[in-house]
Amino acid sequence: MVRSRVRGRPSSVASLLVGAVLLGVVAGCGGAPPEPPPAPARVTPEAYQQLLNTTNASLAGSWRSVASAGPYDAVGGTVATAGVSTGRAADQLAAINPPAGLDEPHAALLAGLRQLADDMSGVSGRVRTFELCATPSVMSTLSAGPGADRMREAAVKLRAAGIQWADFTGDKIPMPETRLDNGAIVNGAGRGGLGRLAITNGNATDAVLTLAQNGAPVVSIYIQQGAKAELAQISDGSYQVFYTLGVDWSGADRLFTRACRFSQFDQALAFTTTEQPDGTHYTAYDVTLQPVAGGKARTSPVDARSFPR
């Protein structure tokens, strides 16, 4: 038994030694983390200016594409693409180390580009929901947004540091608020019939009503919010009746540039003129563009792309 105890002691010591060795290994694994890789070498002012010139020209082209895009899907898709390009430009510039003394202007430029990319993405979403419908309101929204503001600030800081950056966003564009006179004929002045159509717009926004045949506009009239107007001299025939509601009428695009909605009366209107012993008889209708108690006319939403303009 004595021998057994003597022999057991070395085993305990050995166990302690092994434990100490293992603890040492574990402690070694938990040492200080590896140092980060060194920052890339600073580019020269000449190389930096050239890179900014190329980036600026590309982004300015994207900005002009948005400004010249058509309505609805055209401007929505264009501004979304411009936003992606702007975000990529920020990522590419973030990978370089600017010349000495330009860290702050460079950081301001990156912040402006990233905010502008976010703004463009948000505007694209607002076009999809028809909160924004055409270029005038889209450009006003972008030019007054935080991204454009930051881009202007970055341009000032870069120029103060001796680096040229053309401010492609330009000045803030006031939000357009164009309204036509109540009863103004938008198109189709060459009418020659006797038919008449009285329209009441009880909605919260202005409206344009269009008579169309085979999906093509024949005549359109502007009716202000809460007003009545009459379309006269309608030639005989059957007409589809469309109307759009919204804010800020664009004559170039023939649509409202904000809060636009599109509808069609389910039943066509037929206009006829006949000679009777007691004189000439012609068709006259009264329609309202808002729901009314006892009203019989039904309307349905219309896709913006199929609305006759």
Exposed, middle or buried by CB within 10 Å (0-12, 13-18, 19+), for 308?
buried
pLDDT tens across the length of the chain (309 residues) = 333 333 444 444 334 333 434 344 444 455 667 777 777 899 999 999 999 999 999 999 999 999 999 898 899 999 999 999 999 999 999 999 999 999 999 999 999 999 999 999 999 999 999 999 999 999 999 999 999 999 999 999 999 999 999 999 999 999 999 999 999 999 886 678 999 999 999 999 999 999 999 989 999 999 999 999 999 999 999 999 999 999 999 998 999 999 999 999 999 999 999 999 999 999 999 999 998 867 778 999 999 988 998
Return the structure tokens found at 201: 């717009």
Task: Note the pLDDT of residue 8.
Answer: 42
DSSP one-letter code for 186:
E
Measured in whole angstroms, the distance separating CA 294 from the mean position of its chain's CA atoms is 39
Q: Distance of CA 47 to CAs 54, 98, 154, Å? A: 11, 9, 19
Residue reference for tokens 């004595």: 2
Q: Distance of CA 131 to CAs 36, 50, 247, 257, Å? A: 47, 39, 10, 8
CB atoms within 10 A of CB 183: 16
